[in-house]
């Protein structure tokens, strides 16, 4: 039976403002990521220097995440969101200096690269705050019965803006150059802030003077370890991304195994996102009604099987379909995991729990790329992908056996 919950959820003006603001800010972030990779490689001609961009951001983001969760729970969220928003605008605006005045100020390529790393380091600190703020605001904006659908729509917005951001960033760089693309990115972040201004204030339930920072952060961590459904969901997320990182090896498959060139590479690179967008669109109309815990374990195992299939495939169309299917299964997993975390977390501790969640996500993404590269070097590309998929299946089985609360979870 088709549900019209999405229409009811989107009738909430405040929720629409939150989604629209998130669309523009994620669009800007993805455009920025595309631009920085292109710009740094143009300056250095060194692929390793591109990897240092992510490292420059993830180190401060992970390091500050626990403290960020404490600050989010202790302060009014709308004010904190706007501060982060305008801090991003200020930092990205600093990049206009070398982009517009490179010749006049006699900057070298290496000087600009180091300057970019420094700016991205500070955006990583802000990322630790802004990442958990947006999802932590949703439960106070929508009714509890609409929360699963709101999380689905939130994830759909993220995926659409992410894909559009990568594509738009490449287009703007090609037609207007780096400096004007930066101007557009700053403008998009400013537009996002206009929608965030429309949100209602969300005050903390704590008195700041009565809370010890260390104890507050410890409370968030201990809550996750005590709540087996959340712990199991986060472990599945981390290990599925850590071991199922076939995407990192797609350039090698496209060039050396499937022999499809740049055009084929582009489609393979987009395949999992295509699958995720399709299934999340379906889930926003026809939500999952029961047995979400069992479904989560099944789709994570299925995701691992798809990665194994991709690693063994020698046919382009079959590889493409495995990646699309893996994206669909991952999309289901993302929606269920996100809903479990939100539903099982009280408002007063939500920021800290979502900050720990962000550590799992950020560290698994970065470590997943490292794991893929390391195992590819030790085992060979095909064996490394098959190994990663097999480990994902094994992790799903272990979590399913050892975590009956997650297995029986439904909402």
pTM of the model as a whole: 0.76
Q: Say whether pLDDT at 5 is over 60.
A: no
- 121-157 tens-digit pLDDT: 999 999 889 988 988 899 889 888 888 888 888 878 8
Number of alpha carbons in the 13 Å side-chain half-sphere of residue 13? 4
Q: pLDDT of 17-63, one tens digit each?
A: 999 999 999 999 988 987 888 888 788 877 667 667 777 887 888 88
Q: Smallest Cα–Cα separation from 59: which of 111, 123, 110?
A: 123
> In the block, which residue shows the tokens 């997993």?
333
What DSSP line would sit under 176-201, residue for residue? HHHHHHHHHHHHHHHHHHHHHTTSPP
Residues whose CB is less than 8 angstroms from the CB of residue 394 and which lie 6 or more positions away in sequence, other chains included: 304
* Percent of the chain scoring above 70 in pLDDT: 87
Band (pLDDT 50/70/90 cuts) for residue 2 is very low
First to last CA, the chain: 18
Domains and CATH numbers, the chain: 1-199 (1.20.1250.20), 222-411 (1.20.1250.20)
Do 32 and 185 form a contact (C-beta atoms < 8 A)? yes
Span 58-69, mean pLDDT? Answer: 86
**Residues ≥6 apart with Cβ < 8 Å to 109:** 43, 44
pLDDT average, residue stretch 70-78: 89
Look at residue 285 in the predicted model and tell me its pLDDT. Answer: 78
CB 237 within 8 A of CB 364: yes
């Amino acid at each position: 039976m088709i549900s019209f919950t999405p229409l009811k959820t989107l009738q909430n003006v405040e929720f629409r403002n939150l989604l629209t603001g998130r669309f523009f800010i994620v669009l800007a972030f993805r455009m920025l990521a595309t631009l920085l990779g292109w710009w740094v490689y143009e300056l250095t001609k060194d692929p390793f220097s591109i990897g240092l961009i992510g490292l420059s951001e993830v180190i401060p983001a992970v390091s500050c995440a626990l403290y960020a969760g404490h600050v989010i729970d202790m302060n009014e969220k709308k004010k904190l969101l706007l501060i982060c928003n305008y801090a991003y605008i200020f930092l990205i605006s600093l990049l206009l200096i070398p982009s517009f005045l490179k010749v006049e100020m006699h900057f070298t390529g290496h000087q600009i690269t180091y300057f970019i790393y420094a700016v991205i380091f500070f955006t990583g600190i802000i990322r630790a705050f802004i990442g958990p703020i947006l999802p932590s605001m949703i439960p106070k904006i929508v009714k509890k019965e609409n929360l699963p659908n709101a999380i689905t729509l939130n994830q759909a917005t993220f995926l659409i803006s992410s894909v559009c951001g990568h594509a738009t960033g490449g287009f703007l760089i090609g037609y207007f150059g780096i400096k004007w693309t930066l101007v557009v990115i700053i403008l998009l972040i400013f537009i996002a802030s206009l929608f965030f201004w429309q949100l209602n204030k969300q005050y903390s339930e704590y008195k700041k003077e009565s809370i010890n920072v260390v104890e507050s952060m410890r409370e968030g961590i201990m809550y996750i370890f005590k709540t087996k459904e959340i712990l199991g969901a986060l472990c599945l997320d981390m290990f599925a991304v850590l071991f199922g990182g076939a995407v990192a090896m797609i350039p090698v498959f496209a060039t050396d195994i499937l022999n499809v060139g740049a055009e084929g590479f582009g489609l393979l690179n987009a395949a999992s996102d295509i699958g995720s967008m399709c299934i999340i669109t379906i889930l926003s109309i026809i939500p999952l009604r029961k047995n979400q815990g069992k479904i989560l374990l099944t789709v994570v195992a299925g995701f691992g099987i798809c990665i194994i299939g991709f690693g063994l495939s020698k046919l382009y169309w079959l590889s493409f379909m495995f990646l699309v299917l893996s994206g669909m299964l991952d999309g289901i997993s993302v929606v269920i995991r996100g809903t479990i975390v939100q539903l099982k977390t009280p408002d007063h501790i939500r920021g800290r729990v979502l900050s720990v969640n962000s550590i799992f996500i950020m560290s698994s993404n970065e470590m997943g790329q490292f794991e893929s590269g390391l195992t590819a070097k030790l085992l060979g590309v095909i064996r490394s992908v098959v190994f990663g998929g097999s480990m994902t299946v094994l992790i799903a089985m272990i979590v399913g056996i050892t975590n009956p609360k997650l297995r029986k979870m439904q909402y």
